[in-house]
């Protein structure tokens, strides 16, 4: 089969491209911006990439067009596909029908932690001697790739609640039909497509309804929003996990972030690893529970965490210059920002943390979470926000400087990236940690900072 992917350079659609290519299909694709690293990854696999959405691409005559959710009406290639009555399908539906239908799918859903938990789970299965396929919204360092398909019956997928396509407004995860599902957490997010938390809960409700009776739902015991969703009806056994709560529990957390794992009150072992933060302990606990559902003994999973390597862009050290360590993290929701800063604070103790934040997600652009930003950054010593224009308003229509004002003199907003870098350089001292948080490329600020600090 020849598939032509519209929006191929996104992490998810790029993963589908890789999986389709590995499955023996001919794959081509296009995107508005074709650039590294995704472009080089895809081209290395022999996938032809086209810049832009020219209607003339229909001359490629593929068997089907696979449509990413970045494509909307008015896109010239999409309009030509519609006008000519050519076959098209969404990325999640193509994946569900062509790859996942014969697999035991382990899906990881939730507002936060999907990429990390999916990476953990894939690694636990791999370390146990299995050979799982996976599609993850990041690059797990244990694998070096974000997606693969194998002959193994198990497939781990990051189950995103964002909508599927312009013609299918259901969440992507309704197409995956998992047998094992982790529900990590559930907060209001994606304000561009969901009006409130209840609308998100409805989508999670659709996911729960698709899980078979002989499957397993692994739900965060700390999340009332998940309990409320499950209370509306679940036809599948539910195992809950938490810190001192649920069937799976964390106990005896050490200063080095090691911790005991309890199942039904019985000690399973102690996780010794190089990862920090309560949120990551909960992610690990959920992954252990999910791995057990497919036959991996908890003691094996607990041992495997000593060999687990974090995902790229999750507390990833980008370099050290002038005695200052620059760290990159994907955090972009206030809850994730707070957890990330707290995790780094525990790791570095009294050392200064200089937080550099770009509020870039669609939810943040709308200003829905702006009031929560100051509290999420309290544990940082200095804060540098990027996005405010000269008149105090950024392109999103809200005042970043005003939002950060409860933090007083320790917070500043910038519209010029070079000015931000200069401000950080002027304040940074040997022994400091610069924590960069954004869900985008942030103008290459990490290297700009390292160059300046050097």
Handedness of CA 321, 322, 327, 332 (dihedral sign): negative
383 sits in the region (left: phi over 0; alpha: psi -120 to 50; else beta) called beta
Report pTM. Answer: 0.78
pLDDT of residue 193: 73
Cβ 289 vs Cβ 109: under 8 Å: no
The predicted pLDDT at position 387 comes to 79
Q: What local confidence, expressed as pLDDT, does residue 330 receive?
A: 79
Q: Collapsing DSSP states into helix, strand and coil, what is residue 301?
A: helix
Intra-chain end-to-end CA distance of the chain, in Å: 51
> Tens of pLDDT along 306-334?
999 887 667 788 899 989 999 888 776 78
d(CA 10, CA 47): 14
Gap between the Cα atoms of 352 and 431, Å rounded: 7
Burial class (CB within 10 angstroms; exposed 0-12, middle 13-18, buried 19+) of 97: exposed
Angle between helices 224-231 and 197-209 (to 10 degrees): 50
CA 139 to CA 112: how far, in whole Å? 16
User: Distance between CA 121 and CA 79 in Å, rounded?
Assistant: 40
**In this structure, what DSSP letter does residue 140 have?**
B
How does strand 433-437 pair with strand 324-329?
A: parallel
Q: Is residue 425 helix, strand or coil?
A: helix
196 and 146 Cβ atoms separated by less than 8 Å? no
Q: What is the mean pLDDT of each run of 10 residues along the chain (454 residues)?
A: 94 92 94 76 87 96 96 97 98 96 95 91 97 90 90 95 92 95 85 77 92 97 94 94 95 93 97 89 97 98 94 80 89 80 86 89 66 87 76 58 88 88 93 88 84 89
pLDDT one-digit tens code per residue, 3-41: 999 999 888 999 999 999 999 999 999 999 776 667 777
């Amino acid at each position: 089969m020849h598939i032509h992917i519209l929006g191929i350079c996104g992490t998810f659609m790029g993963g589908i491209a890789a999986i389709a290519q590995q499955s023996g299909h001919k794959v081509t694709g296009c995107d508005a911006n074709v650039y590294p690293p995704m472009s080089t990854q895809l081209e290395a696999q022999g996938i032809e990439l086209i810049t832009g959405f020219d209607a003339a691409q229909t001359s490629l005559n593929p068997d089907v067009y696979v449509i990413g959710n970045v494509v909307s009406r008015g896109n010239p290639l999409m309009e030509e596909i519609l006008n000519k009555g050519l076959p098209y399908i969404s990325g999640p539906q193509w994946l569900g029908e062509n790859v996942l239908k014969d697999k035991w799918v382990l899906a990881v859903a939730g507002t936060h932690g999907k990429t990390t938990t999916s990476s953990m789970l894939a690694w636990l299965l791999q370390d146990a001697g299995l050979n799982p396929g996976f599609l993850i919204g990041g690059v797990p360092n244990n694998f070096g790739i974000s997606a693969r398909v194998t002959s193994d019956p198990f497939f781990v997928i990051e189950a995103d609640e964002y909508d599927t396509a312009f013609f299918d407004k259901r969440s992507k995860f309704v197409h995956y039909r998992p047998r094992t599902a982790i529900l990590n957490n559930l907060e209001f997010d994606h304000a561009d497509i969901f009006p409130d938390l209840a609308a998100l809960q409805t989508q999670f409700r659709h996911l729960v309804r698709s899980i078979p009776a002989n499957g397993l739902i692994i739900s965060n015991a700390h999340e009332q929003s998940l309990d409320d969703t499950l209370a509306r009806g679940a036809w599948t056994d539910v195992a809950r996990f938490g810190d001192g709560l649920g069937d799976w529990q964390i106990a005896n957390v050490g200063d080095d972030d090691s911790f005991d794992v309890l199942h039904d009150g019985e000690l399973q072992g102690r996780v010794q690893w190089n990862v920090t933060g309560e949120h990551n302990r909960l992610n690990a606990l959920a992954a252990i529970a999910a791995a057990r559902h497919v036959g991996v003994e908890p003691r094996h999973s607990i041992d495997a965490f000593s060999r687990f390597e974090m995902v790229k862009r999750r507390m990833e050290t980008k370099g050290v210059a002038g005695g200052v360590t620059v760290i990159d993290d994907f955090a972009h929701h206030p809850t994730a920002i707070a957890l990330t800063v707290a995790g780094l604070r525990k790791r570095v103790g009294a050392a200064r943390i200089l937080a550099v934040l770009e509020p870039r997600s669609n939810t943040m652009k709308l200003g829905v979470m702006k009031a929560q930003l100051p509290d999420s950054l309290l544990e940082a010593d200095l804060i540098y926000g990027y996005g405010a224009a000269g008149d105090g308003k950024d392109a999103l229509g809200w005042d970043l400087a005003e939002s950060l004002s409860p933090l007083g003199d320790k917070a500043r907003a910038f519209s010029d990236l070079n000015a931000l870098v200069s401000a950080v350089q002027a304040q940074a001292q040997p022994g400091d940690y610069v924590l960069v948080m954004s869900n985008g490329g942030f103008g290459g600020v990490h290297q700009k900072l390292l160059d300046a600090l050097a």
